[in-house]
């Protein structure tokens, strides 16, 4: 669904900071267009109306659209005299990967191969070194040491594709590997990944969105369900979408017994089941009326 691999997750206090508020607007627009602007582009007027439901003013929406276009996430055109925006077709593979990771995440199994990444960048090009580290981190890689990174094999293709898109693929070597000592590996996982930070992010998601689940479980009257479903669903997707990327998808045997990621994943799945269809119905009706 989303190219949000390079966007921070939404926070409820983003509007208190103008920079973070601008970023959050871009996140929400990306979610809206990825969810409802494929393959049919959305007009600027429709995007403004939809973001208005999310509490974003028109001027902020138009500014964010321009920034996303400059970053080549979106493309604009004219159709029937109206300005339209669509996802950059060059990112379609990335968005399809996002659909799978966000809505159908999977965990590696014991015995499946790991992927190792190593790179050597001259000091004169340390900015490229930073870019590589940033991509590997947000793709779920852990750090064995400064020269060696590790992740379950299932994340390799997405990481390789992003490095290629950024022109960095020739600087990174990938290897497939099997552990010769599963017990020892399980003990080391906690030093290779910051599981405490990831667990905190999952608990924050649960704290923010579990009340939403309780509100929707009993059902909502039809006359107000769709608009509220749209707003709640887009915010939930925007908050969730980064987590399946930075989570490496480690086998459950390597995780703490009370790992909150499993509960958060279940919570998002329930919200998706409850809200996706009425949210899509509302958007279709709004587009038709426009």
Decide if pLDDT at 9 tops 80: no
User: What pLDDT score was predicted for residue 222?
Assistant: 64
Question: Which of 218, 239, 249, 236 lies closest to 279, judged by CA?
Answer: 236
Distance CA 202, CA 205 (A): 5
Least confident piece of the model among 10-14, 220-224, 242-246: 10-14
The domains of the chain, with CATH numbers, are 4-92 (1.10.10.10), 97-192 (3.30.70.240), 195-289 (no CATH)
Quote the tokens at residue 153: 């094999």
pLDDT 10s digits, 140-172: 999 999 889 999 999 999 899 999 989 999 999
| pLDDT band, very low/low/confident/very high, at 281 (cuts 50, 70, 90) | very high
Describe the strand order of the beta sheet including 42-43 as a list of residue ranges. 42-43, 82-87, 74-79
pLDDT 10s digits, 74-120: 999 998 889 999 999 988 888 898 898 899 888 899 889 999 999 98
Question: Which of 145, 171, 144, 147 lies closest to 159, judged by CA?
Answer: 171
Mean pLDDT (whole number) for 31-54? 95
Question: Which of 51, 104, 49 lies closest to 240, judged by CA?
Answer: 104
User: What pLDDT score was predicted for residue 3?
Assistant: 41
Contact 110, 99 (CB under 8 A): no
Please give the radius of gyration of the chain, using alpha carbons only, rounded to the nearest integer: 20
Task: Give the pairing type, strands 142-145 and 172-177.
Answer: unpaired
Decide if pLDDT at 212 tops 50: yes
Decide if pLDDT at 213 tops 70: yes
3-state secondary structure of 107: coil
User: What pLDDT score was predicted for residue 8?
Assistant: 32
The backbone torsions φ and ψ at residue 9, rounded to the nearest 5 degrees and listed phi first, read -70, 155
Mean pLDDT is highest, among 58-67, 188-197, 208-217, 242-251, for 58-67
Contact 191, 226 (CB under 8 A): no
Mean pLDDT (whole number) for 173-192? 84
User: What pLDDT score was predicted for residue 207?
Assistant: 96
pLDDT 10s digits, 223-262: 567 899 999 999 999 999 999 989 999 998 889 889 999 9
Decide if pLDDT at 13 tops 70: no
Quote the tokens at residue 72: 């080549």
- Mean pLDDT, the chain, whole residue set: 87
């Amino acid at each position: 669904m989303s190219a949000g691999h390079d966007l921070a997750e939404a926070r409820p206090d983003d509007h208190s900071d103008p920079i973070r508020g601008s970023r959050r607007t871009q996140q929400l627009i990306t979610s809206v267009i990825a969810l409802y602007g494929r393959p049919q582009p959305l007009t600027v007027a429709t995007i403004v109306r939809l973001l208005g439901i999310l509490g974003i003013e028109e001027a902020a929406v138009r500014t964010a659209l321009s920034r996303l276009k400059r970053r080549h996430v979106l493309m604009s055109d004219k159709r029937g005299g109206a300005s339209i925006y669509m996802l950059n077709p060059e990112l379609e593979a990335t968005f399809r990967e996002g659909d799978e990771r966000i809505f159908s995440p999977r965990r590696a199994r014991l015995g499946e191969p790991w992927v190792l990444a190593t790179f050597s960048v001259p000091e004169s090009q340390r900015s490229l070194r930073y870019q590589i580290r940033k991509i590997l981190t947000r793709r779920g890689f852990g750090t064995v040491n400064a020269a060696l990174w590790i992740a379950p094999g299932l994340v390799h293709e997405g990481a390789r594709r992003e490095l290629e898109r950024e022109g960095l693929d020739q600087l990174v070597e990938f290897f497939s590997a099997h552990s010769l000592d599963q017990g020892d590996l399980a003990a080391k996982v906690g030093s290779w990944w910051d599981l405490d930070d990831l667990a905190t992010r999952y608990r924050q998601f649960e704290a923010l969105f579990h009340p939403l689940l309780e509100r929707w479980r009993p059902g909502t009257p039809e006359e107000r369900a769709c608009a509220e479903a749209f707003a709640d669903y887009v915010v939930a997707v925007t908050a969730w979408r980064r987590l399946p990327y930075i989570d490496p998808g480690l086998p459950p045997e390597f995780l703490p017994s009370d790992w909150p990621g499993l509960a958060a994943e279940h919570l998002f799945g329930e919200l998706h089941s409850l809200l996706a269809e009425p949210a899509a119905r509302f958007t279709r009706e709004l587009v038709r009326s426009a």
